[in-house]
């Protein structure tokens, strides 16, 4: 059996370093690990963007940060300000937590307007800074949603122009499931990409979620997964 090279798997993974007690030493080490394994992105809290930008300079790893993480309950103006600030500091990608309270209250138009405003802000601000398109990943925290609600919210997000739907912050009531990914994929088809995150800790998990339709995997266990894959292919 022919296995894809290590770097190909790495480019399907976002290495999440989002614990609230993360220190500078851990961030610097994570940058070195991200470069070693050629991850798609290293995802950190906004306060670490300048440090990560310096340590990833010249590498093929994108800098991802978060907006309204992990609850999504900031006001729209605060979320927009967070997004602009993160891009100004050097973020290439943003994982933005949706306000599920608006959706659960039946305020679909307000929910939609907030996400659309954030997507447009990211695009316009990145153009202003001449740094190319900043990818937007909208976190819907599937653990708080029924299957039908996941369908409904995925339909709404199709209208926003966002690049990805992301399944979980990793701080919700449960991790992601294969059914979450399949449900989203059935709604969005090829019109949006999917980032599966939350409780993905092994190579088998990664293979399963990619097989279910995920395009990107978010995990804090990225290094262990790559080491597991290297042992498997004997590289």
Kindly list the catalytic residues: 95, 166, 195
Helices 76-89 and 108-128: angle between axes, nearest 10 degrees: 20
Write down the residue that tokens 């202003």 correspond to.
128
136, 188 Cβ separation under 8 angstroms: no
Q: Are strands 62-67 and 135-139 parallel, antiparallel or unpaired?
A: unpaired
Taking the C-alpha atoms of residue 160 and residue 141, their distance in angstroms, rounded to an integer, is 18
- Residue 47 parent element (H or E): none
> What is the number of other CB atoms lying within 10 angstroms of the CB of residue 73?
13
- Joined together, the tokens standing for residue 13 give 């993974």
């Amino acid at each position: 059996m022919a296995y894809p090279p290590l770097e190909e798997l790495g480019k399907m993974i976002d290495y999440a370093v989002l614990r609230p007690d993360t220190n500078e030493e851990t961030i610097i080490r994570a940058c070195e690990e991200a470069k070693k394994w050629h991850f798609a992105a290293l995802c950190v809290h906004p306060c670490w963007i300048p440090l990560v930008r310096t340590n990833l300079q010249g590498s093929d790893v994108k800098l991802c940060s978060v907006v309204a993480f992990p609850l999504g309950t900031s006001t729209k103006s605060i979320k927009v300000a967070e997004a602009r600030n993160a891009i100004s500091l050097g973020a290439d990608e943003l994982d933005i937590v949706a306000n599920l309270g608006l959706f659960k209250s039946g305020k679909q138009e307000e929910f939609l307007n907030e996400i659309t405003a954030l997507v447009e802000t990211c695009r316009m601000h990145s153009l202003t800074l001449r740094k190319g398109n900043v990818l937007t990943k909208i976190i819907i925290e599937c653990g708080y949603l029924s299957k039908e609600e996941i369908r409904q919210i995925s339909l709404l997000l199709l209208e926003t122009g966002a690049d990805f739907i992301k399944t979980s912050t990793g701080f919700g009531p449960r991790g992601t499931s294969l059914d979450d990914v399949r449900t989203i994929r059935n709604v969005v088809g090829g019109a949006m990409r999917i980032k599966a995150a939350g409780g993905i800790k092994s190579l088998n998990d990664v293979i399963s979620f990619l097989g279910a339709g995920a395009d990107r995997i978010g995990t804090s266990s990225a290094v262990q997964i790559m080491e597991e894959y290297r042992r498997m292919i004997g590289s």
